[in-house]
């Protein structure tokens, strides 16, 4: 069975086409295909096929459509609880083949074979027959998939052009991209590649003519001048400079950092004492020279000092990488807590300045965004504790400007098959280096016993981790002679040689295993009983990182007591301190010490004791109310939730539900979505519909914060269906409100009001007073959007009273904010400003960064009306930064629009145009049609003021058409 979506929707059986003449059949098949083998709730299918106007007997009609598709040969459609699933096992889908071929092409490009890459890209593009799903009726899922595939197609076209250029075939670039430019004449990156290719083909006059065409098109269609990259290419051709193509990445000495680019500084602190490794240091430093490999892998046994060397060298070399330093602890040798490439890419693109709302969900898209952000920049990337090539490869930049330093227990030989890699093996220290390290940490008394220090170095196997722990033990026991310590160490070492060689996976010989075991044993035995218990409890934590609060939960003691025990562990060098985002400091255990702590816990603590400690930790995680503290512990929360999901434990859905509100404030919507998706799956597998409904709702809210509205609608609809099936009226009311909210976000105002009025009725009949305030508020918002101001005020006032009665400060701030909007629109700016300031105070008291951003935006607007424009500019800039920080794309689009208006008032027209263009882009991407119309309207007015009648008519016409479609006035 074969499905084709890259053009008209086609079904083929045994190579022969099967006609699908009915539009609803095509629509149903398309939605099931988009789900890619996942079940689709029946309610969602109804919404996708009929929108807000389903037939009276919709269930039987849907079943009939499914039966007809099965009769056509699509026998893999199965009935699932509450919906249908199209199994794709053994089926061919051209879109999947397209993505596979594009991935193969990228691998070829990265391995330095651009000709082969170009061939694979061409094969991928040849699968396209027309626009994706071109004959399928529009629905939210189809529109989103069509947009996703088109974005991928354009990216592949550009990567194909880059491969051709790299293969020395610029004339083909200009010829091939001509057809794509005809479809997308406003895409500047296509113009740039065509113009560079024409110039490289020895046709500079045609290149300059192409630039003129691009400039005219952009001015006529968008009212904008070419962007800086396109202008730079034009100026370069005019100067006849012999430079590399714009698509290629510069080397270490080329280029300047783009104005306003974010410069990440992610390196953890360098080790306090570092000695030796001079030869290795020089070997790594040579990699910063032109023509050297761009990837280095430092490998060696656990505890040999790979991370210490990498961080020491990275800090010394930071000045050679002015565009920043990225760092990720990949935790590759803790399989259940290992960082996936997608997780690392997500963090990197955010650190490089990509707004949260623009961060892609898929790994391939994240990798493309990462490479784009690093193109032309000089950044050092440190990847610590990698498991293997598969974990590292997606994190490698494409150009020559960056250097990647990897540490791993293995040599990662597979990387060298496709990349130029310098392998750096790290052994134990030489005897002089080991003695120097001990002397530096122990202090002057080491010089009084030189023979004992040398023997201590040998007894520790010259392994840096063992040396540091032994030295810390002696430094903390100033009156103990080194020779006495040696006697104890030798005794422990002889015992250790007889057992536990494999307790520290990766330590390759008996001597090193014995040294590690003996050193750990002596330091552990030197602790007091309370500190030994604390150390064992740390072995039960899900990862090597933790806070004092987490240890307090594991121990069942107050945080102050846990911190006192941590001080003792710090003094013994058994844990390390690292800064966190919250006020609380974070701590870390080396992999070997974590393994040792787990071994000691299993040997000394009964299973019920260990289980109770873990239960306390889970309970503590569920009570975290500080968003920054949760952000610091989010890796561990994800790890325990994954573990619970694998084990089928209730924590897999209970923990995300308990943390939902704090997660919403923690400014990590993508990771919140990952957590709630685990809960959806786990609750569904366990047959817990009530918990699954809650998880669907929380996942929908995370998608809302990411601007992924069609997916949010699908999750909220799934929650609504489950609540109705359960007869849960309060849950039904809340889900109806959520569905109504997303309809409003998508500009479907009639559907929004219908769901919100039904939510109100259900909540009032159920006596759900606490939820009514937010529903009243949302009804007011939709009515205001439709221009029905007096009705909106009435609903806002009802919402304010309900929130105050319930003691809901965040809801009260919402109502005050929205009443302020009405007063502002009626010209009562001072009154509105007072309401906004009250709302801001409530937002800050509630810890709502997202709400604070909205209040700052509104205060800025009122300052404009009151003539205080400089003050307004500060408020709006802070609001824009906050919206980007929290991933609120709708808010980002609104503030970008408002900044455009303010710069217009200030006479700074270029800045106004830039902010309006940003608002158009964001609002178009998230489907904010009302906002899009407002930006077109105001941009048209700006062009009219500048005397550009063509651009003014274009934007004014676009605004008028959208307002008419929405049924609202401008």
CA proximity to 134, closest of 155, 114, 153, 111:
153
Please enumerate in sequence order all residues whose Cβ is within 8 A of that of 933, keeping only pairs 6 or more positions apart, or say none: 958, 959, 962, 963, 966, 970
As a whole number of angstroms, the distance between CA 753 and CA 783 comes to 8
- Position 491 scores a pLDDT of 64
pLDDT band per the 50, 70, 90 thresholds, residue 514: low
pLDDT at residue 501 above 70? no
As a whole number of angstroms, the distance between CA 697 and CA 660 comes to 10
Q: Which CATH architecture has domain 875-970?
A: Alpha Horseshoe (1.25)
DSSP string, 573-614: TSSEEE--SSSSPEEE--HHHHHHHHHHHHHHS-HHHHHHHH
Among 108-112, 334-338, 414-418, which is the least confidently predicted range?
Answer: 334-338
- Position 580 scores a pLDDT of 52
Beta-bridge partners for 380: 325, 403
- Report the pLDDT averaged over residues 449-468: 85
As a whole number of angstroms, the distance between CA 844 and CA 935 comes to 30
- Report the pLDDT averaged over residues 195-220: 81
Give the three-class secondary structure for 2. strand
Through-space distance between the first and last CA atoms of the chain, rounded to whole angstroms: 51
As a whole number of angstroms, the distance between CA 703 and CA 485 comes to 59
- Position 494 scores a pLDDT of 38
Instruction: Decide: 698 and 716 in contact? Cβ < 8 Å.
Output: no
Q: In what order do the strands lie in the sheet with 16-18?
A: 16-18, 10-13, 2-4, 92-93
3-class secondary structure per residue, 266-285: CCCCCCCCCCCCHHHHHHHH
* Strand-pair category, 10-13 with 2-4: antiparallel
pLDDT band per the 50, 70, 90 thresholds, residue 681: very high
- Report the pLDDT averaged over residues 738-760: 93
As a whole number of angstroms, the distance between CA 785 and CA 801 comes to 22
- Position 499 scores a pLDDT of 37
pLDDT at residue 216 above 60? yes
- Position 895 scores a pLDDT of 94
Whether CATH 3.40.50.1820 fits 278-334+368-425: no
Higher-pLDDT residue of 503 and 695 is: 695
- Position 584 scores a pLDDT of 53
For 234, the token pair is: 């034009």
- Report the pLDDT averaged over residues 912-923: 88
- Report the pLDDT averaged over residues 106-132: 85
Among 623-627, 759-763, 877-881, 925-929, which is the least confidently predicted range?
Answer: 623-627
- Position 762 scores a pLDDT of 94
Domain positions in the chain are 278-334+368-425, 431-526, 875-970
- Position 680 scores a pLDDT of 95
Instruction: Decide: 9 and 20 in contact? Cβ < 8 Å.
Output: yes
CA angle, residues 859, 863, 865, in degrees to nearest 5: 120
For 402, the token pair is: 């960056």
- Position 505 scores a pLDDT of 42
pLDDT at residue 781 above 70? yes
CA angle, residues 87, 88, 90, in degrees to nearest 5: 120
Left (φ > 0), alpha (ψ -120 to 50) or beta: where does 500 sit? Answer: left
Look at the block and give the residue holding tokens 């408020």. 875
- Report the pLDDT averaged over residues 46-53: 83
Look at the block and give the residue holding tokens 């750990």. 520
Q: Write out pLDDT tens, residues 141-172.
A: 888 788 788 888 888 998 899 888 888 888 88
- Position 246 scores a pLDDT of 33
Spell out the alpha helix ranges (H) of 786-848. Answer: 789-806, 809-825, 829-846
Instruction: Decide: 895 and 883 in contact? Cβ < 8 Å.
Output: yes
Q: Write out pLDDT tens, residues 569-604.
A: 887 767 877 655 444 567 877 766 787 888 899 999
Among 66-75, 751-760, 843-852, 953-962, which is the least confidently predicted range?
Answer: 843-852
Percent of the chain with pLDDT over 90: 27
- Position 23 scores a pLDDT of 85
Helix (H) or strand (E) holding 407: strand 403-408
- Position 728 scores a pLDDT of 94
Helix (H) or strand (E) holding 889: helix 889-905
Beta-bridge partners for 405: 296, 382
pLDDT band per the 50, 70, 90 thresholds, residue 500: very low
- Position 626 scores a pLDDT of 65
Q: Write out pLDDT tens, residues 631-647.
A: 667 777 888 888 888 88
Q: Write out pLDDT tens, residues 280-319.
A: 888 898 888 877 889 999 988 777 888 989 998 998 888 7
For 124, the token pair is: 């991928």
DSSP, res 394 = G
Model pTM?
0.50
pLDDT at residue 721 above 50? yes
pLDDT at residue 261 above 70? no
Look at the block and give the residue holding tokens 């400089």. 870
- Position 582 scores a pLDDT of 44
- Position 741 scores a pLDDT of 94
CA proximity to 545, closest of 581, 506, 502, 500:
581
- Position 628 scores a pLDDT of 58
Please state, rounded to an integer, the average pLDDT across all residues of the chain: 83
Segment of 14-28, 427-441, 686-700 carrying the highest mean pLDDT: 686-700
Q: Write out pLDDT tens, residues 321-332.
A: 888 899 999 988
- Report the pLDDT averaged over residues 881-899: 86
């Amino acid at each position: 069975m074969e499905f084709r979506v890259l053009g008209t929707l086609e079904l083929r059986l045994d190579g022969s086409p099967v006609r699908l003449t009915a539009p609803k059949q095509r629509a149903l098949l398309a939605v099931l295909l988009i789900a890619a083998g996942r079940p689709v709730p029946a309610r969602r299918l109804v919404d996708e096929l009929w929108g807000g106007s389903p037939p009276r007997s919709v269930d039987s009609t849907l079943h009939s459509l499914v039966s007809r598709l099965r009769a056509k040969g699509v026998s893999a459609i199965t009935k699932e609880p509450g919906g249908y699933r199209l199994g794709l096992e053994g089926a061919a889908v051209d879109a999947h083949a397209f993505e596979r071929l594009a991935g193969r092409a990228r691998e070829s490009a990265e391995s330095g074979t651009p000709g082969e890459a170009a061939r694979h890209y061409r094969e991928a593009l040849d699968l396209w027959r027309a626009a994706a799903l071109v004959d399928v009726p529009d629905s939210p899922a189809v529109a989103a998939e069509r947009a996703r595939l088109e974005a991928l197609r354009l990216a592949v076209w550009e990567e194909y052009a880059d491969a051709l250029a790299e293969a020395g075939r610029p004339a083909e670039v200009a010829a091939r991209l001509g057809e794509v430019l005809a479809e997308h004449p406003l895409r500047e990156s296509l113009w740039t590649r065509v113009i560079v290719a024409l110039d490289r083909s020895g046709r500079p006059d045609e290149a300059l003519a192409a630039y003129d065409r691009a400039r005219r098109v952009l001015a006529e269609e968008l009212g904008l001048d070419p962007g800086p990259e396109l202008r730079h290419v034009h100026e370069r051709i005019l100067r006849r400079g012999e430079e590399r193509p714009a698509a290629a990445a510069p080397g270490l000495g080329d280029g300047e950092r783009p104005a306003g680019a974010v410069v990440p500084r992610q390196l953890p602190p360098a080790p306090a004492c570092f000695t030796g490794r001079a030869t290795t240091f020089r070997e790594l430093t040579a990699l910063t020279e032109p023509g050297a490999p761009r990837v280095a892998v430092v490998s060696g046994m656990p505890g040999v000092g790979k991370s210490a060397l990498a961080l020491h060298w990275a800090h010394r070399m930071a000045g050679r990488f002015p565009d920043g330093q990225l760092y990720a602890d990949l935790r590759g040798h803790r399989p259940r807590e290992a960082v996936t490439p997608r997780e690392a890419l997500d963090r990197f693109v955010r650190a490089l300045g990509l707004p949260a709302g623009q961060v892609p969900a898929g790994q391939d898209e994240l990798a493309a965004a990462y490479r784009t952000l690093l193109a032309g920049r000089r950044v050092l990337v440190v990847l610590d504790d990698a498991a293997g090539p598969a974990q590292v490869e997606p994190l490698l930049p494409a150009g020559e400007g960056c250097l990647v330093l990897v540490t791993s227990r293995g040599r990662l030989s597979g990387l060298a098959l496709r990349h130029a890699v310098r392998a750096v093996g790290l052994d134990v220290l030489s005897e002089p280096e080991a003695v120097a390290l001990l002397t530096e940490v122990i202090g002057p008394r080491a010089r009084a016993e030189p023979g004992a220090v040398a023997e201590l170095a040998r007894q520790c196997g010259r392994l840096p981790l063992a040396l540091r722990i032994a030295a810390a033990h002696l430094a903390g026991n100033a009156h103990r002679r080194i020779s006495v310590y040696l006697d104890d160490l030798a005794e422990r070492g002889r015992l250790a040689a007889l057992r536990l060689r494999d307790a520290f996976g990766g330590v390759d010989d008996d001597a090193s295993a014995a040294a590690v075991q003996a050193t750990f044993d002596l330091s552990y035995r030197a602790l007091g009983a309370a500190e030994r218990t604390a150390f064992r409890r740390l072995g039960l934590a899900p990862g090597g990182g933790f806070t004092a609060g987490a240890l307090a939960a594991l121990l069942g003691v107050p945080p102050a007591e846990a911190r006192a025990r941590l001080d003792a562990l710090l003094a013994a060098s058994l844990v390390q301190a690292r800064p966190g985002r919250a006020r609380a400091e974070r701590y870390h255990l080396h992999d070997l010490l974590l393994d040792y702590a787990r071994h000691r816990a299993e040997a000394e603590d009964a299973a019920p004791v260990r289980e109770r400690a873990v239960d306390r930790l889970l309970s503590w995680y569920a009570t975290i109310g500080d968003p920054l503290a949760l952000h610091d512990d989010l890796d561990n929360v994800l790890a325990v939730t994954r573990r619970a999901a694998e084990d089928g434990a209730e924590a897999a859905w209970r923990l995300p539900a308990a943390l939902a509100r704090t997660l919403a404030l923690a400014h990590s919507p993508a990771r919140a979505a990952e957590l709630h998706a685990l809960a959806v799956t786990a609750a569904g597998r366990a047959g817990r519909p009530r918990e699954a409904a809650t998880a669907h709702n929380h996942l929908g809210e995370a998608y809302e914060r990411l601007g992924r509205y069609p997916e949010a609608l699908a999750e909220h609809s799934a929650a609504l269906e489950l609540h109705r099936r359960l007869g849960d009226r309060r849950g039904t009311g809340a889900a109806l409100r959520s569905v109504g909210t997303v309809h409003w976000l998508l500009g479907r105002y009639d559907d929004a009001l219908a769901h919100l009025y039904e939510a109100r009725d259900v909540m009032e009949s159920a006596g759900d007073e606490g939820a009514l305030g937010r529903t009243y508020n949302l009804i007011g918002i939709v009515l205001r959007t439709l221009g029905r101001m007096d009705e909106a005020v009435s609903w806002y006032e009802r919402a304010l009273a309900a929130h105050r009665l319930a003691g809901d400060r965040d809801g009260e701030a919402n109502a005050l904010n929205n009443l302020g909007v009405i007063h502002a629109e009626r010209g009562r700016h001072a009154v509105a400003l007072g309401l906004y300031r009250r709302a801001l105070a409530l937002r800050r008291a509630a810890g709502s960064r997202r709400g604070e951003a909205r209040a700052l935006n509104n205060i800025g607007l009122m300052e404009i009306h009151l003539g205080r424009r400089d003050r307004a500019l500060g408020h709006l800039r802070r609001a824009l930064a906050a919206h980007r920080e929290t991933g609120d794309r709708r808010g980002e689009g609104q503030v970008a629009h408002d900044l455009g208006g303010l710069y217009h008032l200030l006479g700074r027209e270029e800045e106004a145009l830039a902010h309006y263009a940003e608002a158009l882009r964001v609002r178009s991407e998230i489907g904010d049609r009302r906002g899009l119309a407002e930006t077109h309207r105001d941009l048209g007015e700006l062009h009219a003021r500048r005397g550009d009648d063509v651009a003014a008519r274009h934007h004014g016409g676009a605004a008028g058409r959208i307002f008419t479609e929405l049924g609202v006035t401008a």
